[in-house]
Amino acid sequence: MTSFAGVRALVTGGASGIGAAVTAGLLARGARVAVLDLSVDGLPDGVVGYRCDVADRASVNEAVDAAAQALGGIDVVVNNAGVGAAGTVADNDDEEWLRVLNINVVGIARVSAAALPHLRASADAAIVNTASVAATHGLPQRALYSASKGAVVALTRAMAADHLREGIRVNCVNPGTADTPWVARLLEAAADPAAERLALEARQPHGRLVTADEVAASVLFLADPANGSTSGVSLAVDGGMHSLLLRPD
């Protein structure tokens, strides 16, 4: 197990789902972790939590500064906070487009910009962003969400180019449908949650949902200073969806 002893990490959206799994994984490997989230109730012992809305620059600047002070610096930023949006281009109005892009895309820019001075001072700095298979696959009824996650992949590459020579690596993960409270909420809203779950599972090449721990393992892999020459990549965590063409059973 890679040691993150001495590593100071900031995780947005770290109170639930994938972010909570990343937080737990970093903690278990010896990192000091600060979580920035809308609500920071119930975080594990040892984690410092800051109530923060990544859609708001003042909130982000305040929380990142407080986290950096509490941790004594920042080596790793995991930009994971995000929200979903359903529908075609005809279904979301301008307000909804701007709300979701403001969280999923501009939120990453805000948190990263606030953390940059601290990352530049780190010996081994890494940023890992959470994108999605929606960035690379045309999912029906996910126009706005897909656009936001495609932008995360492009932003990841651009940030990687801008900051490589400063010693900051920037990568992202592209999870498939993952078993988190987010997906649980979607299932609860379905007419037949059990049937909807089976349908979601059947869509995955490996016949099951991705786990939050599996996504976290890939986030930690990309954050690991041992991968010092890996920057600008999108790591698919999708049961092979991005590259496999399976015969039906």
> Which CB sits closer to ligand NAD, 18 or 33?
18
* Residue 27 to residue 17: CA distance in whole angstroms: 15
C-alpha to C-alpha distance for 3 and 30, rounded to whole angstroms: 6
**Least distance in Å: CB of 6 to ligand NAD?**
26
Q: Does 49 bind ligand NAD (CB under 6 A)?
A: no
- Total residues contacting ligand NAD by CB under 6 A comes to 27
Whether 50 is catalytic is no
* Whole-number Å distance between alpha carbons of 137 and 145: 12
Select 205 or 225, whichever has its Cβ closest to ligand NAD: 205
Q: 3-state DSSP call for residue 99?
A: helix
The residue from 6, 181, 207, 240 that contacts ligand NAD (CB under 6 A) is 181
Query: What distance lies between CA 200 and its chain's CA centroid?
Result: 21
Question: Which DSSP string corresponds to 60-78?
Answer: HHHHHHHHHHHHTS-SEEE
Given the rule CB under 6 A, which of 9-17, 64-72, 87-95, 224-232 is the region that contacts ligand NAD?
9-17
In the block, which residue shows the tokens 């620059």? 57
Q: Are 10 and 36 in contact (CB under 8 A)?
A: yes
**Given 129, 145, 176, 200, the catalytic residue:** 145
Tell me if 25 contacts ligand NAD by CB under 6 A. Answer: no
Chain residues in the site for ligand NAD (CB under 6 A): 12-13, 15-19, 37-38, 52-55, 80-83, 103, 130, 132, 175, 177-178, 180-183
Any idea which residues carry the catalytic annotation? Answer: 145
